[in-house]
Structure 1
Amino acid sequence: MPSKPSSVPSAAPWLSRLAGALALVAVAGGLSGCGAINRVPTLEEQAKSAWSEVQNQYQRRADLIPNLVETVKGYAQQEKDVLIGVTEARAKASSVKVDASTVSDPQKFKEYQDAQNQLSGALGRLLVTVERYPDLKSNQNFLALQSQLEGTENRIAVARRDYIGAVQSYNTEVRTIPGRWIAAWFYPDAKPMETFTATPDAARPPNVKF
């Protein structure tokens, strides 16, 4: 008479899960001891900090533009279209809402970059018109704004460079082993970040030297 199948569940799956959990704990302990388990969040925070500096410098530029526009308007009211173009580009750039999540959202990041590039282009066109107004170029208020703008454009370039470097380090970590495994197990919300891309003319800082 054939024997009845045993009703006792196999212990193999349970033992396999236990072994996997113990192995994970052991690996985590080893990684924690050497600091590898903290590398993903550390690089993430560095990239976010660099992103904040990019935003700060772009905001600094935006804050300078109203005074620049008013100063130019006092000497070159006939450049109405150029002045309006700068004002509208600034308003559009300022209307793009960004936060820490923007760096991992391709659409939002592109929207932000495009708006800033458009403002750079409009600002560059405004500064080109200044060549036609010698009195404006010698105005002390304009010279002070010119110096501040030049410094800000340099800071933007440095901030973008630092951000690109920080994102490269972070993205490499979460896309390669063992960082990829660590992120999957311990930091499931960690996502690759977006970075700036070069675009002809628009991404080039305006020339503010006369």
Structure 2
Amino acid sequence: MNTKNRMKEAWSGIDVYLKKRYELIPNLIETVKGYVSHEQKLMQDLVRLRNEAIQAQQNQEKINTENHLSENISRLMLIAENYPDLKASTNFQLLQNQLETIESEIELSRRYYNGTVREHNNQVQSFPSNLVASVFGFENGAFFEINNSTERDPVKVSF
């Protein structure tokens, strides 16, 4: 299997988990909105970003939208921390557990995908395969990286 096909296969693995997350988001919003009624803009942003992510055709476009969607899901979960009744809700706990599992699977799939991109890019950039790549128009693949700089910051621990 060539590296381009491996990248496509890896991307399809990510896509499976992203679709599961898309299916979970409406349930999460429905559960949370009764408790967090003043956060309507965040809820609207989640719906809009979910729809944009579903419709995204190019990998880079999907990566950018997914990064924004992840940021907003994280914001929603942080806001939920301020509502003890919501946190105690069995439905919310179930959705939160499902989301954590899906996010973990997305992370693993993303790691595999990025490895295939690295392998592909090495072939596109290295001699002699770079000659073939330039003749046939093979381009570098896009890494699925974190855009949110705060996610890159070290975790602060205080006692």
> TM-score w.r.t. structure 1 length?
0.64
Give 1 or 2 for the bigger CA radius of gyration: 1
Map of 1:140 onto structure 2: 90
Q: Hey, what's the Cα distance between the residues in 2 that align with 1:123 and 1:184? A: 40
User: 1:129 aligns to what SS in structure 2?
Assistant: helix
Identity %: 34
Where structure 1 has 5 or more consecutive residues not aligned to the other structure, the ranges are: 1-40, 103-108, 205-210
Map of 1:196 onto structure 2: 144
> TM-score w.r.t. structure 2 length?
0.83
Q: How far does residue 149 in structure 1 lie from its aligned partner after superposition?
A: 0.3
Q: Hey, what's the Cα distance between the residues in 2 that align with 1:198 and 1:119? A: 12
Q: Hey, what's the Cα distance between the residues in 2 that align with 1:114 and 1:193? A: 15
Q: How does 1:50-199 map to 2 (within 5 A)?
A: 50-98=10-58, 102=59, 109=60, 111-183=61-133, 188-199=136-147
Conservation of the 8 A alpha-carbon contact between 1:53 and 1:159 = yes
RMSD: 2.2
Q: Hey, what's the Cα distance between the residues in 2 that align with 1:87 and 1:43? A: 35
Q: How far does residue 87 in structure 1 lie from its aligned partner after superposition?
A: 1.6
Conservation of the 8 A alpha-carbon contact between 1:57 and 1:155 = yes
Conservation of the 8 A alpha-carbon contact between 1:121 and 1:202 = no
Q: How far does residue 75 in structure 1 lie from its aligned partner after superposition?
A: 2.6
User: 1:132 aligns to what SS in structure 2?
Assistant: coil
Map of 1:23 onto structure 2: none
Conservation of the 8 A alpha-carbon contact between 2:49 and 2:68 = yes
Conservation of the 8 A alpha-carbon contact between 2:67 and 2:148 = no
**Relative to structure 1, is the Cα distance of residues 175 and 201 closer, same or farther in structure 2, using a 3 angstrom cutoff?**
closer
Q: Deviations over 1:159-190 (max 9, x none)?
A: 111111111111111221232345467xx253
Conservation of the 8 A alpha-carbon contact between 1:54 and 1:160 = yes
Matched to 1:176, the amino acid is S
User: 2:2 aligns to what SS in structure 1?
Assistant: helix
